[in-house]
Structure 1
């Protein structure tokens, strides 16, 4: 078959392989996938059901999102970012947040241009950069005092970039970027003329009272930031597959075209459910969900005390350093499943040398009670 260079360095997530190996055994602790058992907002379920019953979402149009959802996204972003986005010109609804990434890359980069990401980063971001024809430039996350921190010295060395594609909290590490980090990002964007593509999927899932800084509130970033969001993480609405992109009108004109020709339209029934979640006066259970995720995270860290697990500042997962235990990540993952009955994904497709030495532990889909024997399972795997 005729080769295609775009696929030369693209790797699979490895999540599906670990899940398939785990099978349906109820004794296996499922820490490999970013699902959650914390329920979605009742208001979102009711609005989706009502739309199905009434047939109000069964349409191709409008291609770029129902006005009710575009307006809800604009109101939500105004509170988070301080920016007043035009719902019709500066917001596009997509089939999940990650489905927005490729249209954004196509609209902001040329083949071969560098895109800055962290190492580790979400494989769905990294591999899309490669598929778009752009070139990943990885900036390491470093462990300092038991927490992940952005290597700002390495970031400051960036001299050429079409975009910086960043998350906070970041998958899979749970790293949260602070104001000094975003100010360093602003300097790189100013020096290179790059866009900041900010994946805000987990923005409010932060632990330990950690303050979260939206980059649009940092001088020099609002006018060059493209925000990608979704209802999957904060609102626990994974199966709805609803996300959005917001940004300056000039680049959004290109993104709108790329998004329409990528998926045509996001599901109308689900859009009405997403609008209900965003406008739920009760807060849609976000604070309660974050408290539950922190309890699970803290259980994981407590169980693995003395092992090289890195505490997350937010998100749904944390990382354990396989190489610090004398194993590579693939071997640790295999031993955890075979000996400890723990499904956990090696980070071989999730970055460069930093990612490749780690295994991810997702705590969003297992309650504290199930996590309470994690140390015994690790001990069995390491014996």
Structure 2
């Protein structure tokens, strides 16, 4: 007999846990989860150690986050995007972007509301919506260009639409949405009085000369956008789970109310280190993009010799690759084959689609390149066995 609450009875084990376990079982090279296999910069780690050893930062932090980090988030938004954020009323520090998204949904969405989700999507979005008693409405990106159909987007808006969740740079497709695309989203959200939850965790991971444009910078959108980001991707510190949400105090109020009873406060010494990290000079962010551009080329070189096809991503550290020329089956089937027989792990996207749209990604899997150069070179030899 099941004793789970109905709100979670459809939630299974996340695909990331499943693939990580399978990769470990078969000693496969893991290009699945977006978890760097190299460390956080040493000077940032040293700040966390210093904070922990100071004797002043090992008790509860303020619920909304420490003042230095809230100011650093506001300064970062002004520095890179020209946004004027109130550090006291317009920033909340969260337990990673995942908790930030959950607090946004719980604080802004009522039972019976509809939330537009662009798919494929990060796998926590839909469970968050369902736990809030709301209904997800799906708008797919169409491969191989990973663009949405404007008519399909328009049709998703109804009188019940409350929120649209936007992710750019987009996981898993690697798209960085253009100003034209964002302008259509903004136009529809203003017309229908819809709030945007903007997940920008890959904001500094733009590739090939692409430019990330926060939707909050578009006319009429700052007052209706909550922006969520984190330190995990930008500083190779996914285990620290320090994120933030920022925006106009009026739209952030509901998020703050939910956050205080979801997690209350997050790890204090690490907040001190992330406040330091956000103030890194431009050279850090430039070198960060250069590093990932190099890693992207290594993975593309590996894929070019495998028989898999792909579109070079504009952002994130992921590539969606089409396996239909080398394997006949669904993505989960191919992923298991790749792990067991080839020795490489990737992520199948079935859990990133609604049931009605899972066929759209039926030939694709996601590879991550947030790995050491040695691992990415090793991938070339392993993946070449696919063509053979």
Q: TM-score, normalised by structure 1?
A: 0.92
Distance in 2 (alpha carbons) for counterparts of 1:287 and 1:227: 22
Note if contact 1:102-1:132 (Cα within 8 Å) is conserved in structure 2: no
Alpha-carbon distance, 1:282 to partner: 5.9
Alpha-carbon distance, 1:124 to partner: 2.2
Distance in 1 (alpha carbons) for counterparts of 2:127 and 2:321: 22
Equivalences for 1:296-375 in 2 at 5 Å?
296-305=295-304, 306-323=307-324, 325-352=327-354, 353=358, 354-367=360-373, 369-375=374-380
Note if contact 2:107-2:256 (Cα within 8 Å) is conserved in structure 1: no
Alpha-carbon distance, 1:40 to partner: 2.1
Distance 1:157 1:4, change over 3 A: same
Residue 99 (structure 2) aligns with: 99
Distance in 1 (alpha carbons) for counterparts of 2:78 and 2:72: 10
Distance 1:137 1:236, change over 3 A: same
Equivalences for 1:1-383 in 2 at 5 Å?
1-2=2-3, 4-23=5-24, 28-143=28-143, 147-160=145-158, 161-281=161-281, 283=283, 285-305=284-304, 306-323=307-324, 325-352=327-354, 353=358, 354-367=360-373, 369-381=374-386
Report the number of matched residues: 378
**Other structure's SS at 2:44 match:** helix
Alpha-carbon distance, 1:239 to partner: 1.8
Note if contact 2:198-2:228 (Cα within 8 Å) is conserved in structure 1: yes
Note if contact 2:299-2:379 (Cα within 8 Å) is conserved in structure 1: yes
**Other structure's SS at 1:118 match:** strand
**Other structure's SS at 1:370 match:** helix
Distance in 1 (alpha carbons) for counterparts of 2:318 and 2:262: 29
Output one character per residue of 1:214-257: Cα deviation in whole Å (capped at 9) or x when no partner.
21221221111100011000121212211111122123222112
Distance in 1 (alpha carbons) for counterparts of 2:204 and 2:162: 27
Distance in 1 (alpha carbons) for counterparts of 2:130 and 2:320: 24
Distance in 1 (alpha carbons) for counterparts of 2:348 and 2:372: 19
Alpha-carbon distance, 1:289 to partner: 2.4
Distance in 1 (alpha carbons) for counterparts of 2:189 and 2:282: 38
Distance 1:282 1:251, change over 3 A: closer
Distance in 1 (alpha carbons) for counterparts of 2:196 and 2:136: 14
Distance in 2 (alpha carbons) for counterparts of 1:366 and 1:150: 33
Distance in 1 (alpha carbons) for counterparts of 2:132 and 2:363: 26
**Other structure's SS at 2:351 match:** coil
**Other structure's SS at 1:116 match:** strand
Note if contact 2:61-2:267 (Cα within 8 Å) is conserved in structure 1: no
Output one character per residue of 1:26-51: Cα deviation in whole Å (capped at 9) or x when no partner.
6x221011111343233321211111
Output one character per residue of 1:165-209: Cα deviation in whole Å (capped at 9) or x when no partner.
111111111111110111011112112211011011101201111
Note if contact 1:57-1:267 (Cα within 8 Å) is conserved in structure 2: no
Which runs of no fewer than 5 residues in structure 1 stay unpaired? none
**Other structure's SS at 1:157 match:** helix
Note if contact 2:223-2:251 (Cα within 8 Å) is conserved in structure 1: no
Distance in 1 (alpha carbons) for counterparts of 2:362 and 2:164: 21
Higher alpha-carbon deviation: 181-190 or 356-365: 356-365
Distance in 1 (alpha carbons) for counterparts of 2:323 and 2:113: 33
Alpha-carbon distance, 1:91 to partner: 0.7
Distance 1:267 1:4, change over 3 A: same
Distance in 1 (alpha carbons) for counterparts of 2:13 and 2:362: 14
Alpha-carbon distance, 1:316 to partner: 1.3
**Other structure's SS at 2:352 match:** coil
